[in-house]
Amino acid sequence: MLNTEPNIAAPDDFYEALLALHQDLSPEQGRQVDARLILLLCNHIGDPAVLRQAMARAREGIVPAGHDATLAARA
Amino acid sequence: MHVDYRSLRFEYRRSPDQSAPQAARHAVVVVGAGPVGLATAIDLAQALEGSGRRVLLLDDDASLSNGSRAICFAKRTLEIFDRLGCGDAMVEKGVTWSRGRVFHREDPVYSFDLLPESGHRRPAFVNLQQYYVEGFLLDRARAMPGIEIRWGNKVAAVEPSEDGVGLTVETPDGAYRIVADYLVAADGARSPIRRALGLESKGRTFRDRFLIADVRMKADFPAERWFWFDPPFHPNQSVLLHSQPDGVWRIDFQLGWDADPVAERDPVRVIPRVRALLGKDADFELEWVSVYTFSCLRMERFRHGRVVFAGDAAHGVSPFGARGANSGVQDAENIAWKLALVLRGAAPDALLDSYDAERVAAADENILNSTRSTDFITPKSEASRAFRDAVLDLARDCAFARRLVNSGRLSLPSTYAASPLNTPDDEVFEGPMVPGAPALDAPLAGGDWLLRHLGGGFVLLHFGEAAPAPPATVPPLRVLAVTAAADAEGLAARRYDARPGTTYLIRPDQHVCARWRRFDPEAVRAALDRATGRGVEGA
């Protein structure tokens, strides 16, 4: 079960560190750091049910405005 | 004896059917003499032996594959080739391998061994040009009186009806008609038969292009699958290097969607790409060059009355994973025994529905694996690119990330876990030999192998000293008794979680369909009925 109750002892310290992690990075570099961070944390959590809940919550309320680069195939 | 199978030309010969006053009737017609059609014809002919029924194989061409094309043949496919009587030729000629290595830029990031245990007759994979595979299958087919092959015979029209399939066949002498009880369409990705019936294969095309350059050279790379992401000799794209017999190497360069498919085939473009990998002084010649895109797609159903589709005609995947030809050969063995039993009157026509259920599920499994590999190799959005790069970066020092690196998950046979032909377990078993699983091999005393004794017909695999007499059934059962002395290393008992008395019912395609802790003739009869489409429930 995904824990959405407070779980971080010093929230302001954590948030500052999260922003410091991205300091002076270009958008591409920021995305690179985020991707690594997400992978590290997901592996640490491990529980697939928790990961799916977190993914669903993260996507909530976002209407897709882009599209993946695939094409329909018919033969 | 070395045969250049690419240079063989097969003569069209006029058949008496072409002068017959009425359309000649054939029990089963297979269309397409590629690996899937040839395997289907051989398997069918073996299963129909003694029934007086022959297999007619039609091909619109006069030669085998001219390029290397499919090169990786998996353990399970080799085991099928063993059953078809040509496994030794494939393995002797092929390059045996089991290890893959993945590099990011210049650094090794991940390696995998596809068969980390011993005690199997066949290796994880052999690499072998498709023309050899077709050639060895053809040698076998031509030695079988139960197969007639007609080259230069092109199916131009298909008329399915309740009691047969009418075919109009075009030849250099003009068209003629025949009627088939059943038709197996193994006529490739563009399947003219699929089109003639107004059917479609649907899915996704990936926005990427790849260049295959098969080169002939002397090289001391090991017989391993090497895959680079973003190597210095081909920046921002991937490259695959793989060994084939006769000193031929498969090099597969990712080019990107914007590459010009015609210009990229020009040796003037290809040779510098190869030199960048091999070094500027490398001595090689181009053997076969092809630029391709690919799609993951399948037909909604593989059985349409008396017409069944197999191989690329029924489904398509990306090449990363070697799941195309391998799964096609597995389609072949799935349909062959079922069709043979129906033709012999030993099983109802409904048995053929299980081909659809089992092989559609297998195609979905292959498409899923293939799509995942492609999503890794060819990122479809900025986010997927960022995660891909992050995985490769972390893989250098984080073990978990190495497991996420996906350069192709290589072909494994499907377990038909949801098949209506399975009898669910009543007792507790451990291990992978669940109903629906392809039987695992194991060494037997005297250099023998378990799989040599399974398949063909239904087999009762019995562990222990007192082998039971088989109950009289249609189709008949053979008993294979595995005694402690025969299973000297104990590997068969371990792989099948067997104790004295444990009994498995194995299908003609070597898949498990039922198992018990003790032999019970009534339970065996019921399981056989179910496995041949006569089960009271579900089938």
* A34, part of any domain: yes
Q: Which residue of A25, A41, A68 is the best one to mutate when testing the B interface, meaning the one whose CB has the most B CBs within 10 A?
A: A68
pLDDT of residue A67: 84
Find, in chain B, the residue whose alpha carbon is nearest to that of A72.
Answer: B204
Which pLDDT belongs to residue B539?
40
> What does the pLDDT read at residue B1?
65
Q: Rounded CA gap, B42 and A25, in Å?
A: 63
Q: Is A67 exposed, middle or buried (0-12, 13-18, 19+ CB in 10 A)?
A: exposed
SS3 B203: strand
> What fold is seen in the domain B5-94+128-202+298-366?
FAD/NAD(P)-binding domain (3.50.50)
Q: Is residue A39 part of a domain?
A: yes
Domain residues for the domain of A57 are: 27-61
Q: Is residue A44 part of a domain?
A: yes
Cα separation of B181 and B26, whole Å? 6
Asked if B190 reaches chain A (Cβ–Cβ under 8 Å), the answer is yes
Give domain status of residue A20, yes or no.
no
- B399 part of contact set with chain A, CB < 8 Å: no
Class of domain B210-293: alpha beta
| The pLDDT value given to residue B112 | 92
Residues of B with CB below 8 A from A36's CB? 390, 393-394
Rounded Cα distance between B85 and B78, Å, is 10
* pLDDT tens column, B330-351: 999 999 999 999 999 999 999 9
ipTM for the complex shown:
0.95
A52 found inside a domain: yes
A48 touches chain B (CB under 8 A): no
User: According to CATH, what is the number of the domain B443-531?
Assistant: 3.40.30.120
Which pLDDT belongs to residue B538?
43
- Provide the residue ranges of all domains of chain B, joining segments of one domain with +: 5-94+128-202+298-366, 210-293, 443-531
- Residue in A with minimal Cα distance to B199: A75
Residue B146 is which amino acid? Answer: G
- Please check whether residue B407 is in contact with residue B238, taking contact to mean a CB–CB distance below 8 angstroms: yes
What is the SS3 assignment for B47?
helix
Q: Phi/psi of residue B494, each to 5°?
A: -65, -45
Q: How many domains would you assign to chain A?
A: 1
Q: Do the Cβ atoms of B149 and B38 come closer than 8 Å?
A: no
Report the amino acid identity of residue B184.
Answer: V
Residues B217-229 pLDDT 10s: 988 889 999 999 9
Distance CA B303, CA B66 (A): 30
| B443-531 has the same fold as B210-293 | no
The answer to whether the Cβ–Cβ distance between B205 and A35 falls below 8 Å is no
Inside any domain, residue A51: yes
CA-based nearest distance A67→chain B, Å:
8
**Inter-chain CB proximity A71 and B381 less than 8 Å:** no
User: In chain A, which residue's Cα lies nearest the Cα of B294?
Assistant: A73
Residue B63, φ and ψ in degrees, nearest 5? -150, 170
**DSSP secondary structure string for all residues of B217-233:** E-----SSEEEEES-TT
pLDDT digits (tens, 9 = 90+) for A34-72: 999 999 999 999 999 999 999 999 999 999 998 887 788
In the three-class reduction of DSSP (H, G, I as helix; E, B as strand; rest coil), residue B481 is classed as: strand
Average pLDDT per block of 10 residues along chain B, 539 residues long? 90 97 97 98 98 98 92 98 98 96 94 93 97 98 98 98 97 98 98 98 94 93 95 96 96 96 97 94 94 95 98 95 97 98 97 98 97 92 94 95 95 96 97 98 98 97 94 95 96 98 98 97 97 72
Strand boundaries in B105-254, DSSP class E: 107-113, 125-127, 147-150, 154-161, 164-171, 174-185, 201-206, 210-217, 225-229, 238-244, 248-254
* Contact between B380 and A70 using a beta-carbon 8 Å cutoff: yes
Tell me the C-alpha distance between B40 and B485, whole Å: 36
- B23 and chain A in contact, CB less than 8 A: no
